[in-house]
């Protein structure tokens, strides 16, 4: 079928290719539903550009658990040279990423990565790596994905969002065909176009398949359309199609000949039938939808037999990929083969930072370990737990680790049992469960009789952290020093880094944190480096040194993303949102918090900060019901953990939210509950507790304590000076509260002006009421209700207009749909652009999804 209604998209691709050839590298995200023609668009560009550039193609395979860096493996086979040598040698991802970029930048290159909706995490990290480094390079990167399969909590969505923020990134969206084009195609085939469009929705793949069948009597499914093609093959062709489908997207001729020698000639029939196409002498399915439909139609008994034969041939090849072997081993029902290959695939994925794929491989192995030796089964569950924790799946990690602990105990292996107990302590902390310290203490008790071992050093470090969490500062320092001394003596940089972080957090020492970071980076201890970055950021935020906090966020986030440390990447983003909240940027704080909470897997501990931040944001914006829901969850997690610091972190913000909603009694109750935890946090947090107690009429919590200057001034009755000090510290909302506390009419008007500037409508509402109580006249009114509820301050009609702008409609078309005049639409569009800070309609359409403004 000819390429219809794709000239604007193809023209844009040619423009981006020209820019790349000129040295302005581009990464183009090409999205659309399955079958909409993404690969066809890329193929069309290749036909015109191939002669002037080096062209490389890698694809993510939907057949089995993704190989870590599967597309890069494909590309290495095409580039040869250093990249291929590093891949063959099992090099680390940093070396592989660097080698790819060096190869691409050496001359004009196009890199195509298809079907990234199936990508492993390491491949997503590779795309992020390239997106940040294309500027000034003669490189065009084309990325295709199904935008209808990207869920809100999918890691791909996060990657797409981050890539979209890069200057080199461009986006192309492919819509279905219009009724006019479908009518044109149908008329050429002697069919009714209106009916064809109704049945296919304009999807080019379904249109093509329906036209090939010549029948529009019933609505086609992909499976029905494909099987109609397969049904026209003879028996040998159908068997060949089944074997090819179980191989994957690319059909390997040598593998097919080895598995089924009698089927080789049938490949021509598959090409003739339109199931396969030949690309550079390599047959592949014309579309993944075709392959999936054929695979699903292979009977179960025949599928198992094919897997058995594929496994036998692939195992004889020393270069066969472990993930592929594990897939076929499971399909063959061969437990021994699964246990040979799945753990190896998990190790490879973990080494490359693809922890989600490592988790899937170890989980596959544990499903087949019923007859394995207990020690082997325990080891698999330990490995699975570690990978689950790195993917921030802590509840699952707890189950896996508990299974491992039980098996080690049954075997009488105290060393491994103690190590797993220490790990479980960390898991309990992440899950906000009070068993944290009991597990840590039990681990040390089990391990101490074995002497000075690495496991004991690690357990002591974990015990130190659990002491810190329950407010035992002395115990934390004693155990941290024991762990650090033993770690240095035994050469354990990861344990040393962890013990230094604990000591630093207890003593508020940035020197120890910097040393911990240096130790971790030197040892390539990625998780410990992420932890050091996280606490450097929060320490600086706690001191209200926002510039330094932002520095550690900017350094730490790409490091954690590049090394797939999801737990600490989430922490960094969540605490960056908290920093933005302190700086009065409600929109950024809310947007960042929502992104963290939308992650597919996130531990209760990692939910705490974004729950609190978002709860405060919506409370200040006046959505009291949403604020209660968010902050109640945070408070429940804090209470369940039994950790005093978390109680302070959750209850003081909930007290503010209740005060903003007019529930002063509820606010007082929360502050009374939070008071015993005042020693668990630094001066700023304790100062906030004292200030809120004063604001709602409670007696001082800790009168003798010294607080940071703004709070000393505020609590000493110097509210105006306190407001200036808060502004000097970069805390404009706290400054507004200080003006509010001053209580005079001029000060209340200053507070009202400040809250209005920040979009803190609930605080503005309380301030208006205070002014009315004083008998003030001429009080400025607040924004309209529909504007107040919108993150960008748009009215409901402006939001409606923005949605139509995002669809690419002109003012005249929008006017016709909304039954208003084009001049009125023009006014709304101008207002929308101003409120979004966008210079063009396209820029407004790009920003709208990030602000959650589109339905």
Arithmetic mean of pLDDT, 516-545: 94
pLDDT category of residue 198 using cuts at 50, 70 and 90: confident
Among 111-115, 258-262, 278-282, which stretch is predicted with the lowest mean pLDDT? 278-282
User: 141: which DSSP letter?
Assistant: E
| Residue-wise DSSP of 545-563 | -HHHHHHHHHHHHHHHHHT
Question: E strand or H helix at 175, and its extent?
Answer: none
pLDDT at position 110 over 50 = yes
pLDDT at position 218 over 50 = no
User: Three-state SS for 412?
Assistant: coil
pLDDT category of residue 533 using cuts at 50, 70 and 90: very high
Contacts 24+ apart (CB under 8 A), 128-131: 128/159, 128/162, 128/163, 128/558, 128/561, 128/562, 129/97, 129/101, 129/562, 130/27, 130/97, 130/100, 130/101, 131/27, 131/162, 131/163, 131/166, 131/168, 131/169
pLDDT category of residue 66 using cuts at 50, 70 and 90: confident
- Taking a C-beta distance cutoff of 8 angstroms, is the pair 681, 648 a contact? yes
pLDDT of residue 221: 63
Instruction: Identify which has the larger pLDDT, 637 or 326.
Output: 326
For the chain, report the end-to-end CA distance as a whole number of angstroms. Answer: 34
Cα distance between residue 617 and residue 402, in whole Å: 38
What digits encode the pLDDT tens for the residues 619-637? 999 999 999 999 999 999 8
What digits encode the pLDDT tens for the residues 463-522? 999 998 888 899 999 999 999 999 999 999 999 999 999 999 999 899 999 999 999 999
pLDDT at position 818 over 90 = no
SS (H, E, C) 819-836: CCCHHHHHHHHHHHHHHH
What digits encode the pLDDT tens for the residues 11-30? 999 999 999 999 999 999 99
pLDDT of residue 140: 96
pLDDT of residue 219: 46
- Taking a C-beta distance cutoff of 8 angstroms, is the pair 567, 596 a contact? no
Cα distance between residue 86 and residue 95, in whole Å: 8
- Taking a C-beta distance cutoff of 8 angstroms, is the pair 121, 357 a contact? yes
CB-based burial of residue 280 (10 Å sphere; 0-12 exposed, 13-18 middle, 19+ buried)?
Answer: exposed
Spell out the residues 6+ positions from residue 323 whose beta carbon is closer than 8 angstroms to its own. Answer: 64, 65, 66, 67, 68, 70, 341, 345, 348, 349, 357, 361
pLDDT at position 787 over 60 = no
- Taking a C-beta distance cutoff of 8 angstroms, is the pair 72, 87 a contact? yes
pLDDT of residue 477: 96
Question: E strand or H helix at 654, and its extent?
Answer: helix 644-660
User: Phi/psi at 266 (nearest 5 deg)?
Assistant: -70, -15
pLDDT at position 809 over 90 = no
Arithmetic mean of pLDDT, 128-139: 91
pLDDT category of residue 220 using cuts at 50, 70 and 90: low
Work out the number of other CB atoms within 10 angstroms of the CB of residue 325: 23
- Taking a C-beta distance cutoff of 8 angstroms, is the pair 420, 382 a contact? yes
- Taking a C-beta distance cutoff of 8 angstroms, is the pair 464, 476 a contact? yes
pLDDT of residue 323: 92
What digits encode the pLDDT tens for the residues 434-446? 899 899 999 999 9
pLDDT category of residue 791 using cuts at 50, 70 and 90: low
pLDDT at position 209 over 90 = no
Cα distance between residue 801 and residue 843, in whole Å: 15
**Mean pLDDT for the chain overall:** 88
pLDDT above 70 covers a percentage of the chain that reads: 92
pLDDT of residue 821: 67
pLDDT at position 216 over 60 = no
How far is C-alpha 243 from the geometric centre of its chain's CA atoms? Answer: 36
Work out the number of other CB atoms within 10 angstroms of the CB of residue 393: 23
What digits encode the pLDDT tens for the residues 329-374? 999 999 999 999 999 999 999 988 888 899 999 999 999 999 999 9
CB-based burial of residue 785 (10 Å sphere; 0-12 exposed, 13-18 middle, 19+ buried)?
Answer: exposed
pLDDT category of residue 154 using cuts at 50, 70 and 90: confident
Q: How far is CA 309 from CA 247, 331, 639, 765, in A?
A: 11, 11, 56, 73
pLDDT above 90 covers a percentage of the chain that reads: 54
């Amino acid at each position: 079928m000819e390429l219809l209604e794709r000239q604007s998209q193809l023209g844009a691709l040619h423009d981006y290719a020209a820019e790349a050839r000129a040295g302005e590298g581009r990464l183009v995200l090409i999205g659309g539903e399955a079958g909409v023609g993404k690969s066809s668009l890329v193929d069309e560009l290749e036909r015109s550009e191939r002669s002037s550039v080096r062209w490389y193609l890698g694809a993510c395979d939907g057949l089995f658990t993704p190989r870590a860096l599967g597309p890069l493996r494909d590309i290495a086979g095409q580039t040869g040279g250093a990249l291929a040598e590093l891949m063959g040698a099992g090099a680390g991802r940093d070396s592989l990423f660097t080698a790819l970029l060096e190869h691409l930048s050496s001359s004009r290159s196009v890199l195509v990565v298809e079907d990234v909706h199936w990508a492993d995490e390491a491949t997503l990290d590779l795309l992020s790596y390239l997106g940040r480094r294309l500027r000034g390079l003669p490189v065009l990167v084309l990325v295709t994905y199904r935008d209808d399969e990207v869920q809100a909590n999918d890691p791909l969505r996060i990657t797409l969002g981050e890539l979209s923020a890069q200057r080199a990134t461009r986006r192309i969206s492919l819509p279905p065909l219009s009724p006019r084009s479908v009518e044109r195609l149908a008329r050429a085939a002697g069919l009714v176009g209106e009916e064809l469009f109704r049945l296919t929705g304009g999807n080019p793949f379904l249109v093509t398949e329906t036209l090939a069948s010549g029948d529009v009597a019933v609505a086609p499914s992909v499976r029905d359309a494909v099987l109609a093609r397969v049904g026209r093959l003879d028996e040998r062709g159908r068997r060949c199609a089944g074997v090819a489908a179980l191989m994957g997207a690319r059909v390997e001729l040598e593998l097919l000949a080895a598995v089924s020698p009698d089927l080789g000639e049938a490949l021509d029939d598959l090409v003739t039938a339109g199931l396969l196409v030949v690309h550079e002498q390599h047959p592949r399915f014309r579309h993944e939808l075709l392959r999936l439909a054929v695979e699903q139609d292979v009977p179960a008994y025949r599928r198992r037999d094919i897997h058995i034969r594929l496994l036998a041939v692939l195992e004889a090849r020393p270069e066969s990929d472990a993930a592929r072997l594990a897939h076929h081993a499971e399909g063959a029902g061969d437990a021994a083969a699964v246990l040979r290959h799945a753990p190896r695939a998990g190790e490879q994925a973990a080494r490359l930072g693809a922890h989600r794929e490592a988790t899937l491989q170890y989980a596959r192995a544990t499903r087949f370990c019923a007859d394995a030796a207990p020690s082997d089964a325990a080891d698999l569950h330990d490995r699975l737990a570690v990978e689950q924790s790195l993917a921030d799946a802590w509840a699952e990690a707890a189950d896996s680790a508990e299974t491992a602990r039980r098996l080690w105990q049954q075997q009488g292996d105290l060393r491994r049992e103690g190590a797993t107990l220490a790990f479980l302590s960390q898991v309990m902390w992440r899950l906000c469960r009070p068993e944290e310290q009991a597990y840590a203490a039990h681990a040390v008790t089990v391990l101490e009789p074995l002497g000075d071992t690495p496991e004991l050093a690690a357990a002591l470090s974990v015990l130190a952290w659990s002491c810190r969490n329950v407010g035992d500062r002395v115990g934390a320092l004693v155990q941290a020093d024991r762990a650090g001394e033993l770690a240095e003596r035994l050469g354990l940089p990861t344990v040393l880094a962890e013990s230094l972080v604990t000591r630093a957090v207890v003593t508020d020492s940035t020197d120890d944190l910097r040393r911990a970071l240096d130790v971790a980076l030197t040892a390539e201890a990625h998780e410990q480096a992420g932890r050091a970055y996280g606490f450097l950021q929060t320490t600086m935020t706690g001191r209200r040194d926002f510039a330094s906090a932002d520095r550690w966020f900017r350094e730490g986030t790409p490091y954690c993303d590049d090394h797939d440390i999801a737990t600490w990447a989430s922490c960094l983003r969540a605490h960056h949102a908290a920093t933005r909240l302190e700086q009065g940027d409600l929109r950024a704080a809310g947007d960042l918090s929502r992104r963290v909470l939308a992650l597919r897997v996130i531990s209760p501990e990692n939910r705490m900060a974004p729950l609190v931040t978002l709860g405060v944001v919506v409370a200040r914006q006046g959505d009291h019901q949403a604020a209660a829901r968010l902050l109640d969850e945070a408070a429940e997690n804090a209470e369940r953990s039994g950790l005093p610091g978390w109680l302070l972190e959750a209850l003081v913000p909930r007290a503010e939210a209740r005060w903003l909603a007019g529930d002063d009694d509820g606010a007082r109750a929360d502050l009374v509950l939070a008071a015993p935890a005042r020693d668990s946090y630094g001066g700023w947090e304790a100062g906030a507790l004292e200030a809120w107690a004063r604001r709602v009429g409670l007696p001082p919590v800790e009168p003798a304590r010294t607080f940071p200057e703004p709070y000393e001034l505020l609590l000493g009755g110097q509210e105006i000076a306190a407001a200036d000090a808060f502004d000097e510290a970069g805390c404009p909302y706290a400054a507004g509260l200080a003006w509010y506390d001053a209580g005079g009419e001029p000060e209340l008007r200053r507070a009202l002006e400040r809250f209005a500037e920040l979009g803190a409508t609930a605080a503005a509402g309380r301030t208006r009421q205070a002014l009315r109580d004083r008998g003030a006249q001429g009080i400025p009114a607040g924004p309209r209700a529909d504007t107040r509820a919108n993150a960008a301050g748009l009215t409901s009609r402006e939001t409606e207009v923005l949605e139509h702008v995002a669809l690419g409609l002109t003012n005249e078309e929008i006017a016709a749909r909304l039954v208003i005049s084009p001049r009125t639409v023009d006014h709304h569009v101008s207002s929308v652009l101003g409120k979004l800070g966008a210079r063009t309609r396209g820029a407004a359409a790009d920003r709208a999804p990030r602000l959650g403004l589109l339905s």
